[in-house]
Amino acid sequence: MVCMDGFILTHVYEPVELLDKELAREFLPPFRPESILDPSDPKTFGAFADPTTYTEFRYLQFEAQQKALEKIEKVAKEFEEIFGRYYGGLLDSYHAEDAQILIVTMGSVIGTIKDAIDAMRAEGKKVGLVKVRSYRPFPVQALRKALKDASIIAVLEKDVAIGGEAGLVTDLKAAFYNSSIRTPIIGFTAGLGGRDITIKDIRKIVEKAEAARKKIESEFEFLDLRMEIL
């Protein structure tokens, strides 16, 4: 699943260091465009599966996603070997090794969080970041390993599930449920519709996480809600 912050990434620009074109061609598989009308490889479109086979079709999709967990890590390492860049496979982290408070998120807010962490680290606060690079397939085992030593986990995301909480925090709680990890998890929604998430907002998350280590007042909240608009 590819997730992109539409407003932020389509209305701003930044310098990009492009890869060498020839190396990129060597890394990528050959381009073989699929022809819809090919007598040697007939296809059916718009068909449906009845109850006799539908479960098996869905299982094959599920199985393919599970196999992708290992493949994603492998390709990330191959990319690093060729281009000298490693962006993480399923996850990426920043000052997470000794962090007591870990922020879990994904997307374009990462840069702001890193700046906030640098400032708070200079103040002696053990704050770290775990970035989810693969939301589907969801990296359950990798997250358990990356988050097991934190004293509290704060999940920040730019979505909300009406009638529930939000996607990432819900999935993370489910991932921990059958494990031995009992680290408290609190969730925050912010930045909906492209609203800026600032360093001040990240500090607010950390303050709330510090308080939640003693007592959780709210499991999930809208971080940047403007009460004057309501």
**pLDDT tens readout for residues 118-174:** 999 999 999 999 999 999 999 999 999 999 999 999 999 999 999 999 999 999 999
Q: Which of the pair, 157 or 36, is modelled with greater confidence?
A: 157
Residue finishing a domain among 71, 88, 105 = 88
Dist. CA 203–CA 184, nearest whole Å: 18
**pLDDT tens readout for residues 53-106:** 999 989 999 999 999 999 999 999 999 999 999 988 999 999 999 999 999 999
What's the DSSP call for residue 193? G
Residue finishing a domain among 70, 88, 106 = 88
CATH number of the structural domain spanning residue 208: 3.40.50.920
How would residue 47 be classed by pLDDT, with cut points 50, 70 and 90?
low
Structural domain count of the chain: 2
DSSP string, 137-167: S--HHHHHHHHTT-SEEEEEES---TTS--H
Q: Which domain holds residue 73?
A: 48-88
> Model's pTM, two decimal places?
0.89
- Cα 1–chain centre separation: 10
Do residues 191 and 115 share a domain?
A: yes
**Hey, CA dihedral for 128, 134, 136, 140, is it positive or negative?**
negative
Say yes or no to pLDDT of 202 above 70.
yes
Do residues 157 and 75 share a domain?
A: no
Contact 154, 101 (CB under 8 A): yes
Do residues 173 and 76 share a domain?
A: no
Residue finishing a domain among 88, 109, 137 = 88
